[in-house]
Amino acid sequence: MTAAHVRAGLTREHVIDAALAMVEREGADALTMRKLAEQLGVTTPTIYWHVGGRDEVLDAALARFAEQHEPQPPASRSPRERIVHLLRQMFEGGLEYPHITKLSTERVGVVHLALPWHRVVANEIASAGLRGEEAGAALHALLYTVGGLVHAALRPQEGDGTSPVTLLADAQPELQAMIRYRPSVYEVFDLVVPPLVTTLIPAAES
């Protein structure tokens, strides 16, 4: 869409979509009201009139992202399989959109992108027969595990000489080899999450 077309029929949706695309592409730090207005071919006050200030724009962009990326539960599977499938969606989405993941963490008090995922996983845990504190503990164990994997995968690598490899340089060769091996985060997900689900969630009755 050209700037002329946007100027002629600018809507709140245009502003939010442009802001979301900018955040997805460059990160929240790159989004300024001036830059957004220039991209849309309007003045900065126009953005304020349609959506509000920068905080309101960011919150609206996160809400739009949540609308576009709702959980997609699989059909005709056991609760265990559905839970693993949902957790994998959540995990892969966090990695696919790192700028959104970072922004949602920073603004978690305003727009909680993970809430729909919490709800569907909680429903699956309940459908497996867990109740009360046992269900709550299982839910949070699974969500914390997946969230921790996403956080670890997106965290910048150590570059200040304090990595485990550097600190344990005098360790035995076998231990050094173990530390140096860096499996992909997808390998770690498959190693940890499905067995954890099997441990925490009862098997479906045949």
Whether this prediction's pTM lies above 0.85 is answered by no
pLDDT band for position 108 (cuts 50, 70, 90): low
Question: End-to-end distance of the chain based on CA atoms, in angstroms?
Answer: 55
d(CA 74, CA 25): 29
Per-residue pLDDT reduced to its tens digit, 65-81: 999 999 988 887 789 99
Q: What is the pLDDT of residue 90?
A: 93
Confidence of residue 3 (pLDDT cuts 50, 70, 90): very low
CATH 3.50.50.60 fits 3-67, yes or no: no
**Average pLDDT estimate for 2-26:** 81
Locate the domains of the chain by residue range. 3-67, 72-158+188-200
Averaged pLDDT, 138-164: 81
The residue to which tokens 């459908």 are assigned = 127
Distance CA(142)–CA(117), nearest Å, equals: 11
Confidence at residue 22, expressed as pLDDT on a 0 to 100 scale: 96
Q: What is the mean pLDDT of the chain?
A: 86
User: How would residue 167 be classed by pLDDT, with cut points 50, 70 and 90?
Assistant: low
